């Protein structure tokens, strides 16, 4: 009977910690770097879908829609569709309170950014709208926004992303993995499991003393 009571208590601890962890992780987190064709990219993970995304500032350069989509062929990544982007935005809703954290994780711009001419508070990138011929679409938020914004057919498919804005060369690209990548458990998750097992061990010891 005592053993069943201990197991039940441990299960309750694990369930509570799991629920807490799930609620706290409904966001984006920094992931390990990704290498594509000998090029290293910073990355982040959507903790809801567990898909890996390349950071927006990877593409603050001479990248164009055409060159980007060509480089991603066979890489396991692709320019996100509108539906995939909106799923990410559900995990990362526009919030002035969360902007500072989000922009550092996803590679957006921020005041004090060491990159020249890029010191403004903005997260934006192009996505796949299915018809690049009439211009590529992008989505963005400023640090004061409470909803995500969309600019349809706004960037020429052969235009360098860094030239989308004359003074701030900070337009990125929403690039996502084709599937969930293998990864190790997050340290926070491992810590929660450790706490649960420690609680189980303590419970058993207390019963032995009695």
pLDDT tens readout for residues 50-96:
999 999 999 998 999 999 999 999 999 999 999 999 999 999 999 99
Residue 207 lies in a domain: no
DSSP state of 31: E
Using alpha carbons only, give the angle 74, 88, 69 rounded to the nearest 5 degrees.
Answer: 25
Report the number of distinct structural domains present in the chain: 1
* pLDDT value at residue 117: 67
pTM score of the predicted model:
0.76
Report the sign of the C-alpha dihedral through residues 124, 125, 129, 134, in that order: positive
Average pLDDT score over the chain: 82
Mean pLDDT for 184-191 is: 46
Q: 194 in a domain, yes or no? A: no
CA dist 155 and 27 (Å) reads 28
CA nearest neighbour of 162 among 121, 109, 114, 110: 109
Which tens digits make up the pLDDT trace of 141-179?
Answer: 999 999 999 999 999 999 999 888 777 889 999 999 999
State yes or no: pLDDT of 17 exceeds 50: no
Whether 15 is covered by a domain: the verdict is no
Residue 81 structural domain: 27-181
Strand, helix or coil for residue 153 = strand
**94 located within any domain:** yes
Q: How far apart are CA 168 and CA 175, in angstroms?
A: 21
Residue 21 exposure: Cα atoms within 13 Å on the Cβ side: 18
In a domain, 187, yes or no: no
Q: Is residue 6 part of a domain?
A: no
Looking at the domain assignment, is residue 186 inside a domain?
no
Written as six digits, the tokens of 104 are: 């550092």
């Amino acid at each position: 009977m005592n053993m069943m009571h201990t197991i039940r208590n441990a299960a309750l601890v694990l369930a509570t910690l799991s629920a807490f962890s799930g609620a706290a992780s409904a966001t984006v987190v920094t992931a390990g770097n990704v290498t594509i064709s000998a090029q290293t990219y910073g990355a982040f993970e959507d903790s809801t879908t567990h898909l890996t995304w390349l950071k927006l500032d990877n593409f603050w350069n001479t990248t164009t829609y055409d060159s980007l989509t060509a480089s991603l062929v066979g890489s396991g990544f692709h320019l996100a569709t509108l539906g995939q982007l909106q799923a990410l935005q559900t995990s990362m809703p526009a919030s002035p309170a969360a902007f500072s954290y989000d922009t550092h994780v996803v590679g957006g711009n921020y005041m004090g950014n060491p990159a020249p001419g890029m010191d403004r508070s903005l997260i934006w990138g192009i996505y796949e709208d299915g018809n690049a011929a009439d211009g590529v679409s992008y989505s963005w938020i400023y640090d004061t926004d409470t909803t995500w914004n969309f600019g349809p057919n706004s960037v020429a498919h052969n235009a360098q992303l860094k030239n989308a804005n004359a003074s701030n060369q900070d337009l990125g690209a929403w690039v996502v993995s084709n599937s969930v990548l293998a990864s190790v458990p997050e340290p926070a998750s491992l810590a929660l499991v450790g706490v649960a097992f420690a609680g189980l061990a303590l419970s058993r010891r207390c019963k032995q003393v009695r």
